[in-house]
Structures are given as structure tokens and as C-alpha cells.
Amino acid sequence: MDKRVVIAAVAGTILVAAVAIWAWRGIGRMSGTDDVQPEQAANETPPPGPPLAPNEENGSLQASRQAMVDEQLASRDIHDPRVLEAMRRVPRHRFVPKNLIPEAYADHPLPIGHGQTISQPYIVALMAQLAAPRAESRALDVGTGSGYQAAILAELCREVYSIEILEPLAREAEERLRGLGYQNVTVRVGDGYRGWPEAAPFDIIIVAAAPDHVPQPLIEQLAPGGRLVIPVGDARQELLLIEKGEDGSLRQESVAPVMFVPMTGEAARKK
């Protein structure tokens, strides 16, 4: 199939999903905060509680997760079998507030407290597929949130380093991931713009917030042959795939229009 047709199809899928998201509780971003003040969002939605015990996952939740993979991912353009299997394995309902568990496998983001959301399942899967993870990969996850993307990467990679600028989210995600048995994920509080230089280089870097330019520290921390998946822009954002050649050269591809929360911290100060 013509590559332009594939990209157009992906863009159309994401734009349709965005319309559904705007209709749902007024959320206007694929990932990140609602269009309300952080204090309001935190008050409206409690942060995720402790993970459900394994025996609390009933057949309905399992069926919903399988339907999510079949209907939202495999029937669209998510075709990497390892990514699809990871999406089947990771219990997304463990990463949302208990009052929102019935909506855990719906095709839209959900608020997780602290003015933030867990990303739409399709976007999580798309970014993972673009990163082309291998079993031996070392990954950097920028914007931990509730830890869902980190858990998906943990199923696909040897090591995952996840960084979150909001300390409460980072601590909650760290506890949640540890409780679910992910021993190959390390979480820290920090500014994702700067990456994690002491753990670099990374074969994969996935970013869940949009700066208005590609952060140079992330380019420097990308290993030769590595892939960076990042939304970039202000009012108009593009999901970019950046590949670093073995000689250090860069190849950039615009995948589709998206809408993420702006990256804060140093990224905001450099505007």
C-alpha cells in the first residue's frame, strides 16, 4: 500500500477519535490534562487506589480487554503481534481510579487525578508500534502518568526507565508497577525534557507530552539505530518518528496530527 495512504488512514483514525474525546466530558487532548484547572480535575476525580488483587479481575474485564484489542487496535492499523499481545496482557483497569474501572477499556482517555489522564489505548499502542521494540531494548518513557505506557513497554523491552515531573503521580505509578510485578521498570521524579542521561543511551524513547520543538537532550540520549516517538507543536501538533542512524544521522517522519498536553518544565521555559 502507498505510504501516503497509510499515513492518511492513521491521521483519519486519530481525528475521528479526537472528536469522540471532545464529546466525552469535554476532554480535548489525546493524552494529558482535561481542559480544566489541575486543582479542579484532582478534586473531581480521586487518584487511582491500590491495584486490584488478581482475583478481583472478573470475566467481564477480561472480555472487555480482549474486545479492546480486537476492535480498537487489530481491526485498525495496529499489526505488531508483540504490541497486540502486550495490550492483551496489561490490565488497564489497574491504572485507573476504581470508580472508572467500568470505562477502563473504552476508546478514550480517562482522568487519573492530579489534573492528568491515562492515554487512549489506541495512542498507547500506536506509539509502541512506531518505536519497534525488541526484547533486548532499553526504553525511556517520558511522562509516566499512572504507569500504563511503562507497563506496556515492560512487556516488550528488557529495561524501562520512566520519568514523571509530578511527584505524586510518579510515586503512585512506582508503587502500582511494583505491585503488579514489573521488576524491569525504574521510575523517577524529574523533568522529561532533560531525559535520563545517566541511564542513556536508549533504543526507544516515547514521550507523552508535547514540546514545541524536539528536545536536544533526548536526541543525544537516543542510541544509534534507536527510535524516538514524540508529539511536537503548540496549537497544531504532529506525532513524529525520529530514527537515528548508526552514523548518528537523523531521519524524521510526521506520522499524524495529534493533540497532547504541553510539556512543562524546561520545555516551557525555552519557548
Instruction: Report d(CA 177, CA 188) in Å as an integer.
Output: 13
What is d(CA 81, CA 165) in angstroms, rounded to the nearest whole number? 32
CB–CB of 133/156 below 8 Å? yes
Q: Which residues form the catalytic set?
A: 119
- How far is CA 265 from each of CA 33, 153, 192, 215, 230, rounded to the nearest angstrom? 15, 24, 8, 12, 16
Q: Is 216 helix (H, G, I), strand (E, B) or coil?
A: helix
Residue 50 in grid coordinates? 491500590
| Nearest partner of 256 among 17, 69, 1, 74, judged by Cα | 17
Yes or no: say if 28 and 257 are a contact pair by the CB < 8 Å rule.
no
Structural contact between residues 171 and 188, judged by C-beta atoms closer than 8 angstroms: no
